[in-house]
Amino acid sequence: MEHEHIHINAVFPNIDPARVDEFNALAAELLEITQGDAGALQYDWYISDDNTRCVLRETYTDSAALLAHLPLVNEHLIKIGEISGGIDADILGAASPELQAVIEAAGTRSYRYFQGK
């Protein structure tokens, strides 16, 4: 069911201009890691024209899929966060209690589904 999906909007707000190539290489590695991740339905990167800000749109089949994904990418996310002034993420959907605990420990915001088309 689509409303069980977990969506993430992750913003990399301030990419160091001197490290854009490193940022791009890490983003490519993250995409490669995620290619084999059956629970990842969407993993799309968008970058500003001046290469200083990036948004990653992610969708997972459910909380378990996201929890399985995190250990695969954690080291890369730490590195890319250092290059880009951190990661500002919103988690959207019905997070399981296990995922909610991870969200709260990370200080990330979560939102439950409200309405839509």
2-51 pLDDT, tens digit each: 678 999 999 999 999 999 999 999 999 999 999 989 999 999 999 999 99
Residue 40: inside a domain, yes or no? yes
**Residue 89: beta bridge partners?**
10
Here the CATH number for the domain that contains residue 14 is 3.30.70.100
* Dihedral angle sign, alpha carbons of residues 110, 115, 116, 117: positive
For residue 117, the model assigns a pLDDT of 83
Q: Which domain holds residue 34?
A: 2-111
For residue 2, the model assigns a pLDDT of 66
Closest to 69 (Cα-Cα) out of 106, 31, 97, 107: 31
Residue 117: inside a domain, yes or no? no
Residues 47-60: what's their mean pLDDT?
Answer: 98
